């Protein structure tokens, strides 16, 4: 019998799963973020471009467009919290694309920092304790996935059928 090849990042998905309480907190907080999505996006990109001014050339200069893209990315992440492996597929694809466009690991870290700082500003006192831990867990998952995909810009081989159903489950 032949052993199946499953990449380490897929084997470790269970360790990255979030608790139901963390998912609930993030979903609740995301409603607030969605309600203020335009100013949230403006503050986020201002902070991101302070941390990495060279990133501004990678983004469309129309702030509404950037804001919609940011909100869509966060929305996808929040809706996929019950399907971490599907989320990782989507984020890995983004990471590979951004890496080929010249985005560095340091800039991915700046994205993570800007996100957490903007969430803290937007949520105020609500962004403490369990909420901070939940968002930090999600942002760490996103950052880790982006960094993994930036070092491996080719798709890893999995036995056919292993990754496809889990990735598509997020679409339902």
The per-residue pLDDT for 24 is 96
Q: Domains in the chain: how many in total? A: 1
The phi-psi region of residue 138 (left if phi > 0; otherwise alpha if psi is between -120 and 50; otherwise beta) is: alpha
Residues 10-23: pLDDT tens digits?
444 445 568 999 99
Q: 116: Cβ–Cβ under 8 A, 6 or more apart, which residues?
A: 135, 136, 139
Q: How far is CA 94 from CA 58, 88, 97, 103, in A?
A: 13, 10, 5, 11
Residues 37-70: pLDDT tens digits?
999 999 999 999 999 999 888 776 666 788 888 8
Residues 133-172: pLDDT tens digits?
999 999 999 888 888 877 765 555 445 444 443 444 444 3
CATH code at position 83? 1.10.490.10
What's the domain range around 53?
18-169
Position 1 pLDDT exceeds 60 = no
Mean per-residue pLDDT, 111-129: 95
């Amino acid at each position: 019998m032949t052993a199946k090849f499953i990449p380490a990042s897929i084997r470790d998905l269970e360790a990255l799963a979030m608790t139901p309480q963390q998912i609930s907190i993030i979903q609740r907080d995301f409603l607030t973020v969605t309600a203020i999505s335009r100013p949230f996006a403006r503050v986020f990109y201002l902070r991101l471009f302070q941390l990495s001014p060279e990133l501004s050339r990678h983004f469309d200069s129309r702030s509404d467009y950037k804001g919609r893209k940011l909100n869509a990315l966060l929305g996808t992440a929040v809706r996929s919290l019950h399907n971490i492996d599907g989320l990782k597929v989507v984020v890995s694809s983004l990471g590979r694309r951004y890496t080929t466009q010249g985005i560095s690991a340091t800039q991915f870290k700046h994205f993570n920092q800007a996100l957490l700082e903007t969430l803290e500003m937007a949520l105020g006192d609500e962004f403490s304790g369990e909420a901070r831990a939940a968002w930090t867990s999600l942002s760490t998952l996103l950052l880790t996935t982006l960094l993994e995909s930036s070092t491996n810009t080719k798709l890893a081989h999995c036995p056919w059928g292993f990754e496809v159903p889990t990735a598509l489950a997020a679409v339902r």
